[in-house]
Amino acid sequence: MELSSLQELLVENLKDLYNAENQLLKALPRVAKKVENDQLRQAIEMHIKETEGQVDRLDQIFSQLGEKPTGKTCQAMKGLIEEAKEMMGEDAEPDVMDAGLIVDCQKVEHYEIAGYGSAVTFARLLGNEQAARLLAQTLNEEEAADKKLTQIAESAINVQAAQGESGGDGGMSSSRSRSSRGGSKARRSR
């Protein structure tokens, strides 16, 4: 497909996001069932409801643009979901599993933040303030979800996973796991 305008690029980006969100609506309930931590499960379940609203907003934008939302598969989301499936198939301690799933969820959030951030910018540049406002609402939800996952990781799950580390390394496992992002810490603590 040849893209000859920013409008066409916006529509392609929105189709990608639409497919990504619909893939998530199928995958997130399985993740919610797998996690052990109640706070994490509740955050995922809340984000499922938000995702339903995000799909509705995308439907509104496609209707306004006179475009169909279908016809594109988001390969990136497909890959991110596959990574989460691999994690769920691991033989891991519950806290370690939850830490790994936070990593996978944050990868998804970061992908969505990039996609929605670009879409907001494109819509504004094209003078479509209604679409920009709806997309910014979704962007704000994705950023809040990422922050919530970081908070859960830093306050509970990563700490619990680190406490389960065995061996007399003088705390090296937990100090090695520290970084500025919750998900990054979780992956390193495994």
pLDDT of residue 175: 35
pLDDT of residue 182: 45
**pTM, two decimal places:** 0.84
Tokens 């679409």 — which residue? 131
State mean pLDDT over 167-186.
39
User: Cα(17)–Cα(88) distance, rounded to whole angstroms?
Assistant: 24
| Residues in CB range of 190: below 8 A, 6 or more apart | 92, 96, 99, 100, 161
Which amino acid is located at 178 in the chain?
R
| Residues in CB range of 108: below 8 A, 6 or more apart | 24, 77, 80, 81, 84
pLDDT of residue 71: 86
The answer to whether 55 and 25 are in contact (CB under 8 A) is yes
- Domains defined for the chain, CATH in brackets: 6-163+174-189 (1.20.1260.10)
Tokens 């409008």 — which residue? 7
Assigned token pair, 148: 């919530």
pLDDT single digits (tens) 21-33 = 999 999 999 999 9
For residue 172, pLDDT beyond 90: no
User: 178 falls in which pLDDT band (50, 70, 90)?
Assistant: very low
User: Cα separations (Å) of 60 from 126, 133, 163?
Assistant: 17, 12, 47
For residue 166, pLDDT beyond 70: no
The C-alpha angle with vertex 67 and arms to 62 and 68, in degrees rounded to 5, equals 85
Torsion angle, alpha carbons of 79, 83, 86, 88, to 10: -120
pLDDT single digits (tens) 115-144 = 999 999 999 999 999 999 999 999 999 999
State mean pLDDT over 171-175.
38
pLDDT single digits (tens) 58-90 = 999 999 999 999 989 999 999 999 999 999 999
